Structure 1
Amino acid sequence: MQNLQGKTALITGGNSGIGYAAAKELVANGAKVIITGRRKEAVEKAAAELGAVAMIADQSKMADIETLSATVATQYGKIDILVVNAGISKLTMIENATEELFDEVMDLNVKGAYFTLSRLIPVLNDGASVVLISSSSASKSIPQTSVYAASKVAINAVMKIAAVELAPRRIRVNAVSPGPFATEIMEKAGLNDPKTQEFIKSGVPLGRLGIPAEAGKLISFLAGDDAAYITGAEYLVDGGQSLNR
């Protein structure tokens, strides 16, 4: 059922993981999809596989965000769906944290996400849907995740305020908060060791890692008209992990 026919979507960080899964689902439901990423070869390869449009942008850089907004406005006029997904995870004990690690996470996960939303608001059609990708880490107190968790708590706050500010234009803003998923971000965070993954799964009531398509389907639902009365909500997709405080 192509319930997104005629809609145009932009997904940041759409070349892998949950961003890729969301793009695949949106395309399957009839949307024209633009994906962004920092790695030209990876973004173009993913776009070709998906039947999407590739745009190269580093969401941690204001110049790239401004250029992306202007390019989308020039080429497409307005868009109907915005998925702010680009992000990174870095682990550190608080006492060992460095300014470089802190800035790297915050520049992309908070500043980048905030200004991506900010600069693309004028490009959104009235009645559009925005989905910010947060994390179940914002609901838990896991050692070594302080910087990453703080960045996602900030995203949840921005989501709620944006939902209020944009309601007069009938623009809905929601957050999807994945728990541990089998994605590239887990590998980059050094969490792909089998023993580490078994430990992670032991804290998930459903006993497994998430599959990206499961988050992609939720994002697609929130993007469509079936979710027309949903805004300012955070959806945990974590197998119950956040229940184990």
Structure 2
Amino acid sequence: MGHLEGKTALVTGGSTGIGLATAVRLADEGAHVFVTGRREAELRAAVATIGAERATAVRGDIAEPADLDRLYAAVSERGRGLDVLVANAAIGAFVTLEETTEEHFDQVFAVNVRGTVRTVQKALPLLNSGASVVLVGSTAGDRGVPAFGAYAASKAAVRSFARTWANELKDRNIRVNVVSPAWIETPGGTAAFGDEQAARAVAENVAATVPAGRMGRPEEAAAAIAFLASAESSYVTGANLYVDGGANQI
């Protein structure tokens, strides 16, 4: 029996990277997992990886309220409410202050901030007593990484929301926490760096400067999320769990 046997979970941005690794881990712990993302082909592949009997895919963009309504209608139709919500979907790119346009700023905040707020807000009627909400933040929210200002600010907002929501939802016995990864090897990370060569250069720099001596794996972030999703972390709420190889700690 897994730690989430018989539970229902939802992972946004669940078709690749940390989201997919998390969906796989939650399913392995016994949950039926809803996954959502913007690309149909990747969602189909994710369900095939997780197992069709353990996962349901609903295509959508968390920045679009109608897509979220359709997603939660599918969750509601299952008739078991929602025990775990992992708000993972996010976008980011390296853009300096001088280069920041209204379009870039609005895109980042529409997904990472407003989309996260709407994801949790629209889930409220479905969240069961004892449910766990895990927001995926980033160590960038604590650091002044050059050319990453809008993304970092959006993740700092996510961290702040977790504190407030943990307090607001405590009377419903709902916990809210954050997992903040640092350098994790994901397709999204490679895209943010520009190309494979740039991503390799980042990986070499991480290996030389991070105490763990390497990039992290999506499965390592997923393990931290699974811990916060389960009753194993029943006395943890409002917290920020770093999965960063010691980068922000030592």
Whether 1:228 aligns to 2:234 is yes
Structure 1 residue 128: Cα displacement: 0.3
The residue aligned with 1:90 is 93
- With normalisation by structure 1, the TM-score equals 0.96
Give the SS at the match of 1:53: strand
The residue aligned with 1:16 is 16
Give the SS at the match of 1:158: helix
- AA aligned to 2:176 is V
The residue aligned with 1:178 is 181
Asked if 1 retains the 8 angstrom alpha-carbon contact of 2:8 and 2:80, the reply is no
- Is 75-84 or 128-137 further displaced after alignment? 75-84
The structure-2 alpha-carbon separation of the partners of 1:62 and 1:147, relative to structure 1 and needing over 3 Å to count, comes to: same
Q: Deviations over 1:139-177 (max 9, x none)?
A: 111101100000000000111111001000110000000
Alignment of 1:1-12 (within 5 A): 1-12=1-12
- Is 192-201 or 144-153 further displaced after alignment? 192-201
- AA aligned to 1:195 is A
Whether 1:142 aligns to 2:145 is yes
Whether 1:157 aligns to 2:160 is yes
Q: Deviations over 1:97-156 (max 9, x none)?
A: 111111111111111011000100111001100000000101111101100000000000
Give the SS at the match of 1:231: coil
What is the identity percentage for the equivalent residue pairs of Structure 1 and Structure 2?
42
Structure 1 residue 77: Cα displacement: 4.2
- With normalisation by structure 2, the TM-score equals 0.94
Within 1, Cα distance between the matches of 2:97 and 2:218?
Answer: 30
Structure 1 residue 226: Cα displacement: 1.1
Q: Deviations over 1:81-101 (max 9, x none)?
A: 000000111111101111111
Picking from 216, 219, 227, the partner of 2:225 is: 219
Structure 1 residue 58: Cα displacement: 0.6
Give the SS at the match of 2:193: coil
RMSD after superposition: 1.3
The residue aligned with 1:72 is 75
Picking from 111, 114, 118, the partner of 2:114 is: 111
Within 1, Cα distance between the matches of 2:249 and 2:145?
Answer: 13
Whether 1:199 aligns to 2:211 is no
Structure 1 residue 76: Cα displacement: 3.2
